[in-house]
Amino acid sequence: MKRILSFAAPLLVLSLVLASVPLRAAEMPAAGSNAPEFTLQSQEGKTVSLKDFKGQWVVLYFYPKDMTQGCTIEAHNFQRDLDQYTAKHAAIVGVSADSIDSHQQFCTKESLTFRLLADPGKEVIGRYGSLAANGMVASRNTFLIDPNGVIRKVYTKVNRMCGTGARRGESVVAHAG
């Protein structure tokens, strides 16, 4: 019994130490690479996967937090331009570490009709290299994914106030046009 404890105790300590280390983001996928697959729950509680969008463009945007000023502005900009994206067969998909309930409240309060996906474990956020330095929320990054699942454009550290959203829209039009 003593022998088992002598092996188990260090492993327990090591696992506790590793559990306290913040999750690190993977390297951000580059334009021209295949988009990492994902499956997450939407604000409607439905399972949504990248493969569900095969044959259409996807504007996959990561954002820090529901109900905050910057994220609300960004979401309103996407909602305002949704008809333009739809005309180009492009789906808007937002991802944050918020819960499904938070997404439901955000969509209801702000009249958002596109999908918001919950990634509380930050696995997909990490796979897309979009985990903020604090390890708690997503960075404001956007990936334009073509109908075959290839990333065509990457926008990093998006400033929702300086017209980057318009440039994302123009990029969809240019690539899908």
Q: What is the pLDDT of residue 20?
A: 38
pLDDT in tens, 26-43: 799 999 999 999 999 999
Q: What is the distance between the alpha carbons of residues 160 and 117, in angstroms, rounded to a whole number? A: 19
pLDDT in tens, 67-79: 988 888 889 999 9
Please say if the pLDDT value at position 126 is more than 70: yes
Residue positions annotated with a catalytic role:
71
pLDDT in tens, 81-105: 999 999 999 999 999 999 999 999 9
pLDDT in tens, 4-19: 445 545 544 444 434 4
8-state DSSP, 121: T
Give the tokens for residue 57. 């463009």
DSSP string across 86-108: HHTTEEEEEEESS-HHHHHHHHH
Q: What is the pLDDT of residue 159?
A: 65
Domain boundaries in the chain? Answer: 23-176
Q: What is the pLDDT of residue 118?
A: 98
Spatial CA neighbour of 117 closest among 93, 141, 140: 93
Q: What is the distance between the alpha carbons of residues 88 and 56, in angstroms, rounded to a whole number? A: 8
What pTM was estimated for this model as a whole?
0.80
Q: Give yes or no for a contact between 75 and 110, defined as CB atoms under 8 angstroms apart.
A: yes
What homologous superfamily is domain 23-176 in, according to CATH? Glutaredoxin (3.40.30.10)
Spatial CA neighbour of 100 closest among 60, 145, 62, 47: 47
